[in-house]
Each structure stands twice: as C-alpha cells, then as structure tokens.
C-alpha cells in the first residue's frame, strides 16, 4: 500500500492510498465525519467569541490546517440559523408556558390571557441614551480650512489634540520600529537555534 496524496477538507483530511499489487485505491478519512468536524470548529470558535482570523491563528500555532474563510462563513450561517431556530422555539415554549399560567390563575380579559409586567425605569434610561446619541451625532463638526474642506474632527477634543508630526520625524520613527522588528526576528532565530533539541 503506497500513500498517494492528501486532500484537505478543512481541519480534517482524506488520505489516498494505492496498492501496486492489486491495483486498488483506498481512502482514509482523518475524522469520521469531515463536515461535522469543520462545523464543530466553527461552533466552538463562535461559542468562545472568536472569528475566522483568530481560529486561523490558534490552529496555526497548533500546526493544524484551518477551513477556508468561505467554508467558515458557510458553517457560520448554518449555525446562526440553528441558533435562531432554537431560540425561537425556546421563546415560543416560554410564551405558551406564560399563557397556561395566566389561564390557570384566571388572568383573562375578554377571553385573552394576560400577564403582569413590572417596569424598573429601564425604558426611560434607554430613551435618554438614544437622545444623547442623536444629539452627539447631529452636533456641528469642526472643518479645517485649507484641506479641501475635509472633516478632520474625529472627537469632541480634536481641537486640543497635538499637531501632526513632521514627515522627517514620522520617517525616523518608522525606521526605528522596522529596525526593532528586524532585530527581534534575528534574536528569535538565534534563540531557536540555541535551544533546538532541548526539552
């Protein structure tokens, strides 16, 4: 039996073997259900609050191939639909339970069951918050003259901000950052070479 190739299917693979003696091909999946494995990866990523890029980085550190962004998005949409359906079902069950409780307690008005709702003022706070947001968004913004009237006011304190750095200073800082990055890469390579084979 001779190994021919590996076909990646997200985090799982299909291994292709060929027998020279009998001329038969054999396939071996690294996971019993490849689609389920990929969907579980996406489900787990969403459950812990990470997306495609973070899962890609995590799996790269573990040296495990990731699904493509297109496949991740496809599974994400499927999972969102499943979650939405489950939440709808839970809300419907809760509403049916509330309705049964209202009927059993005799809370009916013209044959329609009702429940008592206690409000803690949260609606008023929400109204005030929306008002503040609208007021902030409609505030007149500062426009700097001489820049083709491009709006450069990015915050209420923009007028107090420091002026832009001169181009020479920006270039110097950029060179320093690039040099630091290059030195850290060299240092990392040297450390890896010095510690290779250590346990």
d(CA 46, CA 38): 13
The whole-number pLDDT of residue 176 equals: 83
The whole-number pLDDT of residue 144 equals: 46
The whole-number pLDDT of residue 142 equals: 47
Please give the C-alpha separations between residue 21 and each of 1, 2, 16, 17, 147, in angstroms, as whole numbers. 8, 10, 16, 12, 77
pLDDT along the chain (199 residues), means of 10: 80 82 82 79 88 88 86 88 88 88 85 73 66 57 47 52 70 81 73 67
| Residue in 22, 144, 185 with CA at minimum distance from that of residue 1 | 22
d(CA 197, CA 29): 32
List 27's β-bridge partners, or say none.
Answer: 16
Residues 47/54, Cβ–Cβ less than 8 Å: no
Determine if residue 111 is left, alpha or beta; phi over 0 gives left, psi from -120 to 50 gives alpha, anything else beta. left
Tokens representing residue 161 in the block: 């901000």
Which SS3 state, helix, strand or coil, does residue 33 take? coil
Which SS3 state, helix, strand or coil, does residue 106 take? coil
pTM over 0.85: no
The whole-number pLDDT of residue 120 equals: 62
Alpha-carbon Rg for the chain, nearest whole angstrom, is: 30
Tokens representing residue 120 in the block: 């803690």
Tokens representing residue 83 in the block: 């979650």
DSSP 31: S
The whole-number pLDDT of residue 143 equals: 46
């Amino acid at each position: 039996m001779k190994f021919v190739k590996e076909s990646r299917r997200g985090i799982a693979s299909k291994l292709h073997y060929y027998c020279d003696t009998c001329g038969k091909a054999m396939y071996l999946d690294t996971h019993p259900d490849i689609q389920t494995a990929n969907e579980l990866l996406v489900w787990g990523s969403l459950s812990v609050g990470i997306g495609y890029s973070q899962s890609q980085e995590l799996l790269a550190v573990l040296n495990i191939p990731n699904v493509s962004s297109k496949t991740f998005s496809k599974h994400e949409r499927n999972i969102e639909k499943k979650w939405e359906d489950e939440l709808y079902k839970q809300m419907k069950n809760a509403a049916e339970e509330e309705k049964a409780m209202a009927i059993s307690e005799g809370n009916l008005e013209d044959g329609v069951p009702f429940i008592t709702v206690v409000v803690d003022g949260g609606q008023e706070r929400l109204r005030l918050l929306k008002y503040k947001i609208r007021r902030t968004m409609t505030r007149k913004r500062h426009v700097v003259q001489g820049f083709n009237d491009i709006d450069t006011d990015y915050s209420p304190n923009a007028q107090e901000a420091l002026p832009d750095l001169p181009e020479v200073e920006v270039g110097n800082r950029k060179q320093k950052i690039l040099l630091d990055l290059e030195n850290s890469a060299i240092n990392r390579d040297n450390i890896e070479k010095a510690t290779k084979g250590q346990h």
